[in-house]
Amino acid sequence: MDDALAQALAAVAYQGSAALRCLPHDPEAARVHLETLTEVARHALWATRPAHDGPPARLAGVLERAAALLLAAGVRTTVTDRTADGTPDRRAVVEEALVTAVREEVLNVLQRGTARRCDIEVSNQGGSVRLVMTNDGGGRPPLTVEVPR
């Protein structure tokens, strides 16, 4: 939960700064940044609700929120989930491992603040689910996680 909140706060800070820079010369652009900031804050409130209020986070929802947070921070993001069609439900431990990896890497991308593009791909690889996250900031190798199904 702390990582999701940190991701959201980084995106809120970015959007707030952008709105302030735009306000004197382009109020419409400032309004757009403030609308995005509000949406990110709403996502953060939803993401930080206590665990007993609902089921554990699912990868599809986390991928969607990660893309929204990265986009709000100015990082163009593509998400390709090749496991979404016809794959049987993953074990909870697999979902949790993938969700944690996505959240951690999104936080890393936002904290470094140099990426302008991020690609996230999830696929089936034999008996495993493979997550690969690449970005153009910081010169780090892509994050690759394989979790047995």
The predicted model scores a pTM of 0.67
| Residue listed under structure tokens 């890497």 | 105
Nearest Cα residue to 70 out of 130, 137, 132: 137
Ordered per-residue pLDDT tens for the chain, 149 residues: 566 677 778 888 888 898 999 999 999 999 888 988 887 777 676 555 544 445 667 888 889 989 988 888 889 999 999 886 555 567 788 888 898 899 888 888 877 778 899 999 999 888 889 999 999 987 778 989 998 87
The values of phi and psi at residue 124, to 5°, are: -90, 130
**Secondary structure letter of residue 116 according to DSSP:** S
Alpha-carbon distance 109 to 76, whole Å? 12
Q: Give all domains of the chain, ordered by start, each with its CATH number.
A: 2-148 (3.30.565.10)
